[in-house]
Each structure stands twice: as C-alpha cells, then as structure tokens.
Amino acid sequence: MEEYHQTTTTTTKQYYSELGWTSTLLIALLVFFFIMILVHLLNVLDRRSIIRKMIIPYSSPWGLPPLRSKEYSKQLVLPPGDKGWPLIGHSIGWYLAVASSHPPRFVEEQVRRYGRIFSCRLFGKEAVVSADPMFNRYIMGNEGKLFKSCYPKSFRDLVGKNGVITVQGEKQRKLHGIAVNMMRMEKLKFHFLEDIQRVMLQVLDHFQDNQLICLQDLAINLMVNQLLGVSSESEVNEMAGLFSDFVDGCLSVPIKLPGFAYYTAMKARETIVAKIKKLIQDMRVQGAAASSDHHHPNLVGHINGVLARLVLHEEEDQQSCCLPDEAIADFIINLLFAGNETTAKTMLFAVYFLTKSPAALKQLRAEQESLRRRDGNGDDQMLTWEDYKAMPFTQCVIDETLRIGGIAIWLMREAKEDVEYQGFMIPKGCFVVPFLSAVHLDETFYKGALDFNPWRWMEPQNQEKRNWRNSPFYAPFGGGARFCPGAELSRLQIALFLHYFAARYRWTQVKEDEMSFFPSARLVNGFQISVTRARQQEDALPS
C-alpha cells in the first residue's frame, strides 16, 4: 500500500515535473492575458459610463472621483475614450500613426468613436487629445494660465535651463518677447532679407550639374549665419555637424552613456555653448574697438546676426540687455533648434509637393520669373521687400505645404489645474495634446484635404481660415503666448528659397519617397534629387 502511495506521489511529482516549466509558463501567460483583457474591458465600460452608473459610491479604481457622491454629481466627466492596453495604453497606435505618412490616423479613429475631444493613455499618462479647432485654440490661448507646455526632463536639460521652449511663466514671457523683437518685420526688411539671399546664393553656387543634393544643409547654413553671424564655410560646417548631433539627441532615448545619441548631444551642446561664448567675447572686443575707431570699417563689417545684436545691445528692447552670457547661449541654441528643423523640412516638403504637382510648379516658376524681369532684376540682382510682397501664388504654396506637411503636428501641454470645458473635466496634471494636423487634414474644413492644392488659398471663402496668426482652422505656427516668434522669418526664408531654387533649377527625383513624422518630420528616403541649373533661355520660358 505504502509502495503504491509512494509510486503515486512519485508519478504525480514526475507528472508535474514533466508538465514542466513550459506549461506553467503557458498557464501564467493565459491568466495574465485574461486579466489584461478584463482590465481593458472594464476600462472601456468605465469610460462609457456604464460602470459608473452601476457601482456603489466607492472610490473608483481608475482614478475617478468617488462615485455617486453629491460632489461627484456636480462634477463633470473626462472626455470619452478608453485607456487602451494596460501599461502601454495607446502608445503603439499613436507611434504607428505618427511614423506613417498620415500622422492623424490614430486620432481620426478615436474621433470617429468618441468625438473630437477624447481621452486616452499615452506614454504612461492620462491624456486628453483634441482634434477640435476651437478647443485647440482655447488650449493655446490659455498657455501659462490653465495649461503649460510640458517636455521630458532629458529634453529640458538639452535645450538648457534658459531655453525659451521649455521655461515657464515670467521667464518665458521675457525670452519670448526678446525673440519676437529680434525677428519682427523691420528686422526682416533691414537685416535678414539681404543676408538670407547672400548665404543662399553662396550655397546654391556650389551645386554642380547632375549633383545629388541635401536641402537640409542649406537651412542650417542660413540659420547659423543669421543667428550667429558666422559665414565662413568651415565654421558653418563645424557648427552644422555639432548641431545635427544635438538634434539627434533631442529626439533619442535619454541614455547618458558614451555611444548613445543623447550623450553625444550633451557633448555637442557643451561645445556649442563654448563656441557661442567665445563668439560673444570676440564680438565685445570688436564692438569696443569699432566704437572707438569709426574709421575702421573692417571691424564692424564682420559683426552681424542675432547674436551680435544681442551682445552689442543694438536692440531698443531693454529686456535683451540684461541677459548673462549663459542665457544668451541657451537662447541662441533654442532658436537654432526651433528654427532649423522646421524651416529646412518645410523647404524640403515644398519641393516634394511641387515635384508631384507640375501645374503648381509651373505657376510658381512663372510668378518668380516675372519678378526677375520686373524692374530689370537680373540674375545677380537681389530681391527687394516689394518683390517679396508680390508673390501671391508662392505664398499659397507655402501655406499649403504647411497645412499638409506642417512640422509641428501636435503640441504638448499639461493641465495646470482642473479645467472645465464644454461639460468635460480635464484633471490637473493631465497630459493635453492639441493635434494641429488633425484639423489641417480634416475633410470637414478642407475639401480634398489630402490633396496638395495651393489654389484653395485663393478662394474667397478660405481667406478668413487662412489667417495663420489666429485662425482656429489653420495654426501651423501654434498660437497664444507660445506663438512661433520665427513665423515671419521662416516664411521669408522659404519664399526666397523657392525663388532661387525652384525657379532657377531643374531637378529629377531619383527615388520614390514618402513623409514620416517620427522621430521628426522627414522623407523616408531622404528625397534624393539630381539638380541642374536651368539655362537662361529656359529660365525665361518656365516649363
């Protein structure tokens, strides 16, 4: 009997050991998935208010206020939505959409289910996403009051503690004010217009016939020149290299170990800051020498750019006079970061769209050609401010490029306090995302929303919508207290680029391409084109 017992126990043991780890793991996984699905279903039901109506007044396990209490009945609810999968929420769906050529895809799916303002879970946080033009404007308009911009600490460390992009409150207002002042209309007319054209011609002159080119280089040349006043090729190239490392780090996983992009970016930042400080010292020396020797033109000739105007206190704006060198360096790095990628990519996308739309390219060339013939503007003659103001179709091309290929497709905000909006409650600390491109690509607001159609901006019914400073339907430069201070400058750069490049060169696309917006806006195959300088007679007859 004992034997039998022993045999049975041994057999059971053997059986379990034979069943082994594989089966135990399988069962554990099944249980885990079962729980995940259950939690997911509960989340969905909870957001659809079914559970809230059923359950007794206990505190909600999903972080909602106590149910059925008096206070709760007075309280508003989160916008509808679900929390997606446990732990990861909707992050994968979000990622797949922004990495595709149609970034609002995920948002559009949720909008179909829950409406233009919905809640979800992104990057481990409760989030409210908006594809609603009015709510987007409300969020941007209440910057610093009900909402504040929010970036991860790793990004804040990279752009610096005086970075206008990440600072808040009084400091942001001050730095934003300085940026607006440095790039306002008169500055564009008297400082930037000529500088941009000089650098542009310098870069374009290097293009050989049938050369494969990188449009990104042109933009960094422009930015480095206009912000730092640097124009020597070697200096610009060095800065461009450092800056490219810096940008890669801003968009990478923040691992501060040698070999990782974030670490390289931190090192690049240190070098850029050191270089800017050195430039500041040189400028002070030259500035002092120039003011004591008015007969020495070479001394001042070298000093131009935003940095010099800040350092030599040429600005009427008193605010800019009291910035310490460290803050000036951060300020310039922020302008470089915010201005370079955005402008470069918009130029790139404009050429990409024009390549796909021969009719638009033909009309743009004709317009630019007529400017060159106007007032006898020859090949070497620079455009005037009046010329810039006489490019209506080119402006439509820029607007349409920004609508479809807008670089800032969504903004990051956080609710500073519980915010009530149209019957919804957005709790304090909630991640809030105005998804700008979901509005820009919404068929309700734009007929044939996915088509590149610059002519739409000529239609009388679109004139109000087109006002990019405060239109709820078209906000490629954001709005409110963080409205892009470089908006006018970038438009000027893009227009001049289209004049010198699109109108004077012919190109063929070497490889098919498509847009992606992850980790940043780009054309996945780098948009390789082979360029050829148009011959004079061909120039005169746009094809």
User: Interface with ligand HEM by CB under 6 A: which residues?
Assistant: 149, 164-165, 172, 176, 179, 334-335, 338-339, 342-343, 346, 407-408, 411, 476-478, 482, 484-486, 489-490
Q: How far is the CB of 187 from ligand HEM (least distance, A)?
A: 11
Residues near 40 by Cβ (< 8 Å), separated by ≥ 6? 82, 83, 84, 85, 86
Question: CA 343 to CA 331: how far, in whole Å?
Answer: 18
Q: How far is the CB of 440 from ligand HEM (least distance, A)?
A: 11
Residue 484 marked in a binding site: yes
Helix and strand counts by DSSP (H, E) for the chain:
22, 12
Name the residue nearer to ligand HEM (CB basis): 158 or 179: 179
Name the residue nearer to ligand HEM (CB basis): 219 or 426: 219
Which residue matches tokens 């607006």? 180
Provide the CA 349 distance to its chain's centre, in angstroms.
Answer: 14
Q: How far is the CB of 346 from ligand HEM (least distance, A)?
A: 4
- Which helix (H) or strand (E) segment holds residue 532: the answer is strand 529-533
Name the residue nearer to ligand HEM (CB basis): 119 or 149: 149
Q: How far is the CB of 19 from ligand HEM (least distance, A)?
A: 56
Reference 515, options 397, 350, 388; nearest CA is 350
First to last CA, the chain: 102
Name the residue nearer to ligand HEM (CB basis): 221 or 342: 342
DSSP letter string, 330-357: HHHHHHHHHHHHHHHHHHHHHHHHHHH-
Name the residue nearer to ligand HEM (CB basis): 114 or 352: 352
Q: How far is the CB of 55 from ligand HEM (least distance, A)?
A: 39
Q: How far is the CB of 85 from ligand HEM (least distance, A)?
A: 28
Q: How far is the CB of 264 from ligand HEM (least distance, A)?
A: 23
Distances (CA, A) of 479 to 134, 448, 459, 473, 476: 12, 25, 24, 12, 9
Distances (CA, A) of 535 to 8, 79, 469: 95, 59, 39
Q: How far is the CB of 311 from ligand HEM (least distance, A)?
A: 17
Name the residue nearer to ligand HEM (CB basis): 91 or 401: 401
Reference 445, options 105, 134, 64; nearest CA is 134
Name the residue nearer to ligand HEM (CB basis): 46 or 341: 341
Question: CA 441 to CA 119: how far, in whole Å?
Answer: 20
Name the residue nearer to ligand HEM (CB basis): 142 or 286: 142
Reference 431, options 168, 78, 184, 181; nearest CA is 78
Which residue matches tokens 């033909």? 362
Phi, psi of 27 (to 5 degrees): -65, -45
Strands 147-149 and 419-421 turn out to be: unpaired
CB 223 within 8 A of CB 203: no
Name the residue nearer to ligand HEM (CB basis): 236 or 484: 484
Total number of residues shown for the chain: 543
Sign of CA dihedral 438, 351, 492, 172: positive
Q: How far is the CB of 521 from ligand HEM (least distance, A)?
A: 9
Q: Nearest residue by C-beta to ligand HEM? A: 486
Name the residue nearer to ligand HEM (CB basis): 114 or 138: 138
Longest dimension (CA), the chain: 118
The partner residues of 509 in beta bridges, in order of sequence, read 529
Q: How far is the CB of 481 from ligand HEM (least distance, A)?
A: 7
Reference 103, options 407, 382, 343; nearest CA is 407
Q: How far is the CB of 230 from ligand HEM (least distance, A)?
A: 15
Reference 328, options 284, 366, 297; nearest CA is 284
Residues near 470 by Cβ (< 8 Å), separated by ≥ 6? 137, 479
Name the residue nearer to ligand HEM (CB basis): 94 or 477: 477
Give me the half-sphere count of Cα atoms (radius 13 Å) on the Cβ side of residue 435. Answer: 27
Q: How far is the CB of 243 from ligand HEM (least distance, A)?
A: 13
The arrangement of strands across the sheet holding 117-122 comes to 117-122, 125-130, 431-434, 413-415, 147-149
Name the residue nearer to ligand HEM (CB basis): 390 or 408: 408
State the binding site for heme.
484
Extract the annotated binding site: 484
